[in-house]
């Protein structure tokens, strides 16, 4: 993350005979308030995402594995970038040389893993919906875990360069010394490093997501399920107009797929929009001298980044009944033997009982938790319940 007084500056002990610049009271108050609010919501929400997936058996699905990876990465961003910003706005850098290296490393680790996790679940959605036969072998929990492990190992190694690119800098003023965590290299050397990072972890994910979600939309939304389906239709995927199950169950599976795809698309759109101010700023500053360092615009860019890391659990709660019920259950901390009331995946039972020999993989987009203590009511309203926020 760039600091408003240290971007692209060489590490040195600089002597400045002017008075020490101080952040205005308004900036300090707004920064502390917004950062505390956003980070508090984000840390709590992302911890809940990790807990509900790890503690609920039917929530352990390929897509949710990627969402856990995204939640952990967002937690790192909030802890390594958000919280230090609170102390930095009221004082100089207080974490020392080691803190500068480790915090900078963790910031880029969280940012880049977050980007890769979004790309991974986008590809997984594309395969599951557009190539349902292959999805039986490619979209599995074990494969998702291996991919996630590979992402974290690769990014961990890639980001080690920041241990050599960051350093502390002291600036001596007439009334004191200001310590900042700065970049060691000059602007000319930093530019290719930044543009590599910018291309790999912003441009490429956005392009991939745009293309793949376009193809997914073509299948799900531009080729709607026929109004009347034969209960004994021949084999094929639900999004191609064939279903081994009843008409209502088939429509319900399509509805659930549409809803989870909408939810994940919203996550990608928020990533694209909320990172755009910061990415645009650094691109512009790479070509102008002196760089643009308006205090309030820098604050806006930071708040957008923190919001991106905090907002995903809110999206899950609003757009997924499954996550919403799991969050409520976690908050209540109730263990009175009512797990079956909330954790039974409707589509799994329906498809299994009526689609023997179907090639359609039963993944989490066909699963829907529904609080029905006295049994299943496999009506169309139940099947489409995930779309009601």
How is the chain split into domains, by residue range? 13-365
Contacts of 231 (CB under 8 A, 6+ apart): 246, 247
Under the phi-then-psi rule, with left for phi > 0, alpha for psi from -120 to 50, and beta for the rest, what region is 197? alpha
d(CA 287, CA 245): 60
13-365, CATH topology level: Rhopdopsin 7-helix transmembrane proteins (1.20.1070)
Per-residue pLDDT band at 63 (split at 50, 70, 90): very high
For helices 247-285 and 295-319, the axis angle rounded to 10 degrees is 170
pLDDT the model gives residue 247: 60
DSSP for residue 289:
S
Q: By CB neighbour count within 10 A (0-12 exposed, 13-18 middle, 19+ buried), where does 24 fall?
A: exposed
Whole-structure pTM value:
0.77
Residue 14 backbone dihedrals phi, psi, to 5 degrees: -95, 135
**Helical ranges in the chain per DSSP H:** 25-55, 62-77, 83-90, 96-130, 132-138, 141-158, 162-165, 187-198, 204-220, 247-285, 295-319, 321-332, 339-342, 346-354, 380-383
pLDDT digits (tens, 9 = 90+) for 189-214: 778 888 889 999 999 999 999 999 99
pLDDT digits (tens, 9 = 90+) for 295-328: 899 999 999 999 999 999 999 999 988 898 888 8
d(CA 71, CA 1): 19
């Amino acid at each position: 993350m760039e600091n408003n007084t240290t971007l692209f500056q060489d590490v040195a002990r600089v002597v400045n005979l002017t008075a020490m610049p101080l952040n205005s009271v308004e900036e300090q108050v707004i920064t502390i308030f917004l950062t505390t609010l956003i980070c508090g919501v984000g840390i709590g929400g992302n911890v809940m995402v990790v807990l509900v997936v790890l503690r609920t058996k039917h929530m352990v699905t390929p897509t949710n594995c990627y969402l856990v990876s995204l939640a952990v990465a967002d937690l790192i961003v909030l802890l390594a970038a958000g919280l230090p910003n609170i102390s930095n706005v009221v004082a100089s850098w207080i974490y020392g040389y080691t803190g500068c290296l480790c915090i900078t490393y963790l910031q880029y680790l969280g940012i880049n893993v977050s980007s890769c996790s979004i790309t991974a679940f986008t590809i997984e959605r594309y395969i599951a919906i557009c190539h349902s036969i292959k999805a039986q072998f490619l979209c599995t929990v074990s494969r998702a875990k291996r991919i996630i492990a590979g992402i974290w190992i690769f990014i961990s190694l890639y980001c080690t360069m920041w241990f050599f690119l960051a350093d502390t800098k002291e600036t001596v003023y007439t009334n004191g010394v200001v310590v900042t965590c700065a970049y060691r290299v000059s602007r000319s050397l930093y530019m290719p490093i930044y543009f590599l990072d910018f291309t790999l972890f912003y441009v490429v994910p956005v392009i991939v997501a745009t293309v793949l979600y376009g193809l997914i939309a073509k299948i799900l939304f531009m080729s709607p399920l026929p109004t009347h389906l034969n209960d004994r239709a021949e084999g094929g995927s639900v999004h191609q107009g064939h279903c081994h199950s009843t008409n209502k169950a088939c429509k319900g599976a399509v509805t659930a797929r549409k809803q989870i795809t909408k939810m994940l698309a919203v996550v990608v759109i928020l990533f694209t929009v909320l990172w755009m101010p910061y990415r645009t700023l650094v691109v512009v500053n790479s070509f102008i001298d002196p760089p643009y360092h308006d205090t309030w615009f820098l604050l806006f860019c930071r708040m957008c980044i923190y919001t991106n890391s905090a907002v995903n659990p809110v999206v899950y709660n609003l757009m997924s009944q499954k996550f919403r019920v799991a969050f409520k259950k976690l908050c209540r901390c109730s263990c009175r033997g009512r797990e079956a009331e909330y954790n039974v995946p409707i589509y799994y039972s329906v498809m299994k009982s009526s689609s023997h020999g179907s090639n359609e993989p039963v993944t989490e987009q066909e699963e829907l938790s529904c609080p029905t203590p006295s049994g299943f009511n496999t009506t169309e309203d139940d099947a489409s319940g995930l779309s009601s926020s």
